[in-house]
Chain A
Amino acid sequence: MNTISRDEVAHLARLARLAVTEDELDTFAAQLDVILASVARVGEVAADDIPPTSHAVPLTNVFRADEVRPGLTQQQALSGAPATEDGRFKVPQILGGDE
């Protein structure tokens, strides 16, 4: 039995903002199915009472003195932008026409 369907892959691609092609959907559905079947092995480990680890070393919040430090200039921040206007990032319309 497949663990993931072609439709589910299409849904994942939408969530992940990937405009995948029809051919890719076939390839990825088959490949993700094999990978998921393999990684599902983690479920074999009895770990109900085991705490999860999210990070290799314990994370603690790091504070610093609230002092002004040099950062990127406006020009530096915009230096890699695909489009700019009036010293700002120029982006496509955020909302669809009906919204």
Chain B
Amino acid sequence: MNELVRSTASELAALIHSGEVSSAEVTRMHLERIAAVDPEIHAFLHVAGDAALSTAAEVDAALAAGEQPRSPLAGVPLALKDVFTTVDMPTTCGSKILDGWQPPYDATVTARLRAAGVVILGKTNMDEFAMGSSTEHSAFGPTRNPWDTRRVPGGSGGGSAASLAAFEAPLAMGTDTGGSIRQPAALTGTVGVKPTYGGVSRYGLVACASSLDQAGPCARTVLDAALLHEVLAGHDPLDSTSIDEPVPAVVDAVRRGAQGDLRGLRVGMVKEFAGDGYQPGVQGAYRAALDQLSALGAELVEVSCPHFDYALAAYYLILPSEVSSNLARFDGMRYGLRVDNGAATAEEVMAATREAGFGAEAKRRIMLGTYALSSGYYEAYYGQAQKVRTLISRDFTAAFTKADVLVSPTAPTTAFPIGEKVDDPLAMYLNDLCTIPANMAGNTAMSVPAGLAEEDGLPVGLQIMAPALGEAVMYRVAAAFEAARDAAEGGPLFRRVPGLEVPA
């Protein structure tokens, strides 16, 4: 494997900006890597080779003309989740109903990446409309986990996470509604960050559940995630929920954290996220991470968040309710698929189109939401779930008086075999047990590689949660932990991904 594709984004940026290597060369190496391994991994739904090389050439030309890099990541390639609109590439959201759709506008995230000179390699696979925890609910076939290609990479952003672990891209974009950035990061041994709700614009992000969706960075290192975070984040007048506050200084926080001193910092262990139901190897890696944090000088305290036990149930009422409303826009009239099957009326065409265009999980959630919102059930289901949401936020508020950050395993298990849970919705939903509370309350949270599970040698993630706009302290802890873990284990976890070499 070419060493350039094993490099981190910050290393590549340094090489490109110093003129040692061109962005075109870096881009070409990644496109070659994609061509070699993606037939097996299937992280990408669309590869935009020509557009990527042309962006890279522009960055190279500007640098050659003596211009300053447009951003600290100018010229570095990135894999974009296929839920962000792009004028020059299809945007399918992993759904047949949008197969081949080319949007007439760019998402704000897309526009900011372009303005920063980031090279977009293509669009990554995902569970349909970001609903799923394995990427098996993509209409275009599953993505495989580079650590073991018989297993899932997590979801919904399995394509983005797998592209990082397979060294197809050094950076990727995700969206996290209930864990779709953090859980795939955990299952692939990569880093994934869900910013504070409103921290990154949702304009042009095809909606799953609007009150929970949040876009964020995915990378192989904490520093790379922070560099991307600063490119993405910030107020956007096109998103009414966008926060009009300064972006937390996460890159500085990472540099401070990497010095390895967490003295005076209180780390809260969430009592509800441990014990039965957690795979032994996940528990082992989690305990080792706690020891590591303690060795860095952090004070460990146990915190209880009793309503987190009800977060999953409340989430699977609130999310489908919002989904049933958001997905009503796919009606076969203005864009996307239209199936008429000889139907005469608009209503019949809509029903035939949606039946043919949506997969099983989308249909389940649409019907679940329709049920939860229907008269007679509204108070008992949706209304009660919204009250539980309040109690979850209050649990966080109380916990953050006792601790600066909270920690837990990111997911209860390591990567599971493809096919194991796809027909058992409830078993699939349990993957998001630990990640959902942060979406409900809107605070920030991330997953950082914690190590490998003893019994299966697969990656485990440590989840770090911080208050709203508390990204700096969260990144600081993550960077300190990453540096200590890498030093103890003789290098970053991603160096241990099986090579995926293609026979010559």
Q: Which residue of A lies closest to B438 (CB)?
A: A56
Contact with B along A1-20 (1 / 0, CB 8 A): 00010001100111111111
What's the Cα separation between A10 and B336 when bound, in Å?
A: 25
Query: Cβ of A64: which chain B residues have Cβ within 8 Å of it?
Result: 237
Query: Cβ of A42: which chain B residues have Cβ within 8 Å of it?
Result: 310, 313-314, 317, 381, 384-385, 388
Q: Is B371 touching A36 in the complex (CB atoms < 8 A)?
A: yes
With A38-B313, A83-B338 given, is the CB distance from A57 to B243 under 8 Å? Answer: yes
Query: Cβ of A68: which chain B residues have Cβ within 8 Å of it?
Result: none
- Which of B240, B371, B440 contacts A62, CB < 8 Å? B240
- Which of A36, A38, A40, A82 contacts B333, CB < 8 Å? A82
Q: Is B380 touching A82 in the complex (CB atoms < 8 A)?
A: no
Query: Cβ of A17: which chain B residues have Cβ within 8 Å of it?
Result: 328, 331, 347, 350-351, 354
* Cβ of B115 under 8 Å from chain A: no
What's the Cα separation between A61 and B240 when bound, in Å?
A: 8
Query: Cβ of A18: which chain B residues have Cβ within 8 Å of it?
Result: 351, 354-355, 358, 363, 366-367
What's the Cα separation between A76 and B335 when bound, in Å?
A: 11
Q: Is B363 touching A28 in the complex (CB atoms < 8 A)?
A: yes
What's the Cα separation between A4 and B383 when bound, in Å?
A: 19
Query: Cβ of A79: which chain B residues have Cβ within 8 Å of it?
Result: 102, 104
Nearest CB of chain B from residue A36's CB, rounded to whole Å: 7
What's the Cα separation between A97 and B228 when bound, in Å?
A: 56
What's the Cα separation between A15 and B336 when bound, in Å?
A: 21
* Cβ of B421 under 8 Å from chain A: no
What's the Cα separation between A26 and B337 when bound, in Å?
A: 26
Nearest CB of chain B from residue A18's CB, rounded to whole Å: 5
Question: 8 Å CB contacts to A: which residues of B349-367?
Answer: 349-352, 354-355, 358, 360, 363-364, 366-367
* Cβ of B468 under 8 Å from chain A: yes
Q: Is A12 touching B371 in the complex (CB atoms < 8 A)?
A: yes
- Which of A24, A41, A62 contacts B313, CB < 8 Å? A41
What's the Cα separation between A9 and B348 when bound, in Å?
A: 18
B interface bracket (residues with beta carbon within 8 Å of A):
35 or more
Nearest CB of chain B from residue A16's CB, rounded to whole Å: 5
Q: Is A19 touching B346 in the complex (CB atoms < 8 A)?
A: no
Query: Cβ of A35: which chain B residues have Cβ within 8 Å of it?
Result: 316, 364, 368, 425-426, 429
Helix, strand, loop or mixed for chain A's interface? loop
What's the Cα separation between A8 and B48 when bound, in Å?
A: 45
* Cβ of B504 under 8 Å from chain A: no
* Cβ of B101 under 8 Å from chain A: yes
Query: Cβ of A51: which chain B residues have Cβ within 8 Å of it?
Result: 387, 390
Q: Is B468 touching A57 in the complex (CB atoms < 8 A)?
A: yes
- Which of A28, A47, A54 contacts B388, CB < 8 Å? A47
Q: Is B391 touching A47 in the complex (CB atoms < 8 A)?
A: yes
Nearest CB of chain B from residue A28's CB, rounded to whole Å: 6
Query: Cβ of B440: which chain A residues have Cβ within 8 Å of it?
Result: 53, 56
Query: Cβ of B241: which chain A residues have Cβ within 8 Å of it?
Result: 55, 57, 59
* Cβ of B389 under 8 Å from chain A: yes
Q: Is A93 touching B344 in the complex (CB atoms < 8 A)?
A: yes
Nearest CB of chain A from residue B329's CB, rounded to whole Å: 12
Q: Is B346 touching A91 in the complex (CB atoms < 8 A)?
A: yes
* Cβ of B441 under 8 Å from chain A: yes
Q: Is A82 touching B317 in the complex (CB atoms < 8 A)?
A: no
What's the Cα separation between A47 and B391 when bound, in Å?
A: 8
Q: Is B383 touching A52 in the complex (CB atoms < 8 A)?
A: yes
- Which of B243, B334, B343 contacts A80, CB < 8 Å? B334
* Cβ of B324 under 8 Å from chain A: yes
Q: Which residue of B lies closest to A51 (CB)?
A: B390
* Cβ of A87 under 8 Å from chain B: no
Nearest CB of chain B from residue A3's CB, rounded to whole Å: 9
Q: Which residue of B lies closest to A41 (CB)?
A: B313
- Which of B240, B310, B355, B366 contacts A19, CB < 8 Å? B355
Contact with B along A82-94 (1 / 0, CB 8 A): 1100000101111
Q: Which residue of A lies closest to B198 (CB)?
A: A57
Query: Cβ of A92: which chain B residues have Cβ within 8 Å of it?
Result: 340, 343-346, 348-349
Listed A/B pairs (29) with beta-carbon separation below 8 Å: A8-B371, A15-B370, A17-B331, A18-B351, A18-B355, A18-B358, A28-B364, A32-B368, A34-B425, A35-B316, A38-B316, A39-B313, A41-B313, A42-B313, A44-B310, A53-B393, A55-B211, A55-B442, A56-B211, A56-B443, A57-B241, A61-B240, A72-B104, A82-B333, A93-B344, A93-B346, A94-B346, A95-B345, A96-B345
Binding site for A on B (CB under 8 A): 101-105, 197-198, 211-212, 237, 240-241, 243, 307, 310, 313-314, 316-317, 324, 328, 331-338, 340, 343-352, 354-355, 358, 360, 363-364, 366-368, 370-371, 374, 380-381, 383-391, 393, 425-426, 429, 439-443, 468
Binding site for B on A (CB under 8 A): 4, 8-9, 12-21, 24, 27-28, 31-32, 34-36, 38-45, 47, 50-57, 59, 61-62, 64, 72, 76-77, 79-83, 89, 91-97
9 closest A-B pairs by CB = A56-B442, A80-B335, A52-B386, A82-B338, A47-B387, A76-B104, A19-B351, A19-B355, A56-B197
Given A52-B386, A55-B442, output 8 extra A-B contacts at Cβ < 8 Å: A32-B368, A35-B316, A35-B364, A47-B387, A53-B386, A56-B443, A80-B101, A80-B334
